[in-house]
Amino acid sequence: MARTLNDYLERSGRANSAAVRDARSVFDQAYSLARQIVELREKHGLTQMQLSEATGIPQAQISKIERGVISPTSATLAKIAEALASDLRLVER
């Protein structure tokens, strides 16, 4: 019996299927982006409401982006990056 998530992932045929691996990859990318936004916002000492005011993006939408519930458009990301004095980049994997 698996005791940890890692044990389960290593032993489970379903968890290692191509479809699940692809879905996990999409989730990992969205989570990474969300985590970066939260970290930068907090580094700048901003609340979600303050970021909302600086970008014109509704606070509820910022919350959804930070939770990975929605994927922001490039225009939305550009506004957030500008407000957080950051650059958008494509980084080779």
Q: In this predicted model, what pLDDT tens digit does every residue of 27-50 receive, in sequence order?
A: 777 788 899 999 999 999 999 999
Task: Report the CATH number at residue 49.
Answer: 1.10.260.40
For residue 23, being part of any structural domain is answered with: yes
For residue 44, the enclosing domain spans 5-83
Measured CA to CA in angstroms, residue 53 lies from 12, 56, 60, 88 at distances of: 46, 5, 12, 20
Both tokens assigned to 40:
């930068």
Look at residue 47 and tell me if it is in a domain: yes
Nearest to 72 by CA among 55, 93, 54, 50: 55
Tell me, yes or no, whether 90 lies in a domain.
no
On the question of pLDDT at 81 being above 60, the answer is yes
Whether 88 is in a domain gets the answer no
Query: Residue 78: which residues within 8 A CB-CB, separation 6 or more?
Result: 88
- Residue 89, domain member (yes or no): no
Spell out the alpha helix ranges (H) of the chain: 5-11, 18-43, 48-55, 59-66, 74-83
Number of domains within the chain: 1
Residue 91 lies in a domain: no
Instruction: Establish if 14 belongs to a structural domain.
Output: yes
Whether residue 34 is contained in a domain is answered as: yes
Reduced to 3 states, what is the DSSP secondary structure of residue 91? coil
Per-residue pLDDT reduced to its tens digit, 57-77 = 999 999 999 998 888 999 999
